[in-house]
Amino acid sequence: MEGFQFGRTLSRTFSILGASVGTVGVFVLLLQIVSAGLNTMATGRLKVAATGDAANPAAIFLSPWYWAMLFVGFAIGAVLAGGAISGFLSAARGESGPLGDLFRAGLGHALPVLGLMILWTIGISLGFALLIVPGLILVAMWAVCLPVLIGEGGGVFASFGRSRALTKGARWKILAVLIVAVVIIYVPIMFAGGMAGAIGGSAGAAGMLRAEGTPVGFVFSVIFGWIMMMVVYSLLTSIYLETKLALEGSESGGLGGVFE
């Protein structure tokens, strides 16, 4: 049985990306526009709250707009993750369902995906707090939690265990693939950051921060979010399929009910 292959994982990622731009790409774009629009509106309100009580550094956190933005962001993110990964799993099987299927899948998986994301974030944060290395181990160990949850229909905690089993023996290679993905995402972000800096009169990230809450910030937020979500979720899907192939000799087992 073949082991985990770095090149095949990246090749599959670009293959399913290309096959699903017209479906998953549109789905992700629509949700990114909604998310960026709400974020732009809330950011304006938060700036007003901070200006009105400049002496209180916690003024932003006391604003209901902050908590509303946080909640809505998590909710949209959960729907986006569920729908996007469902679509990428379908594309990997050579299928392409209508856009409505992605919304149904995203909404249907939203609660367990949200729970998994919260637990994943807490665990990874604690891991990185313990001298970084444990965090890297957990990132690799739990790399396929979301595709497992969506593709195999298990519970949240079962998905962590299944991810741990699937990634065993391949975690260093998985980390290498994820590092390559970070570079792929980082380059366009830095390029766009330079453009935002030129428009905002500041260099790089500073210019992007100045543009936040403005029409320019809205456009960049949509672009960044779209690129990042498409690359990240297609890559996680590909890693999941590669670990199944390496461990079980098949990519397709247990994927029949993705849209059910």
Per-residue pLDDT of the chain (260 residues; tens, 9 = 90+): 578 999 999 999 999 999 999 999 999 999 999 988 887 776 666 555 555 555 555 556 666 766 777 788 889 999 999 999 999 999 999 988 789 999 999 999 999 999 999 999 999 999 998 878 889 999 999 999 999 999 998 899 999 999 999 999 999 999 999 988 888 777 766 666 555 555 554 444 444 445 555 677 788 888 888 989 999 999 999 999 999 998 888 776 555 444 33
Helices (H) and strands (E) in the chain, counts: 12, 0
What are the residues whose beta carbons fall under 8 Å from the beta carbon of 221, sequence distance 6 or more? 32, 35, 36, 39, 40, 212
- Cα–Cα–Cα angle for 197, 48, 51, rounded to 5 degrees: 85
Q: How high is the pLDDT of residue 141?
A: 96
Name the residue type at position 14: F
Q: How high is the pLDDT of residue 216?
A: 73
What are the residues whose beta carbons fall under 8 Å from the beta carbon of 185, sequence distance 6 or more? 227, 228, 231, 232
Q: How high is the pLDDT of residue 14?
A: 93
Which residue, 225, 237, 245, 220, is CA-closest to 83? 237
| Burial label, 201 (beta-carbon count in 10 A; 0-12, 13-18, 19+) | exposed
- How many residues can be counted in the chain? 260
- 3-state SS assignment for residue 92: helix
SS (H, E, C) 146-160: HHHHHHHCCCHHHHH
Q: How high is the pLDDT of residue 182?
A: 85
Model pTM? 0.83
| Burial label, 125 (beta-carbon count in 10 A; 0-12, 13-18, 19+) | exposed
Residue with tokens 């792929």: 184
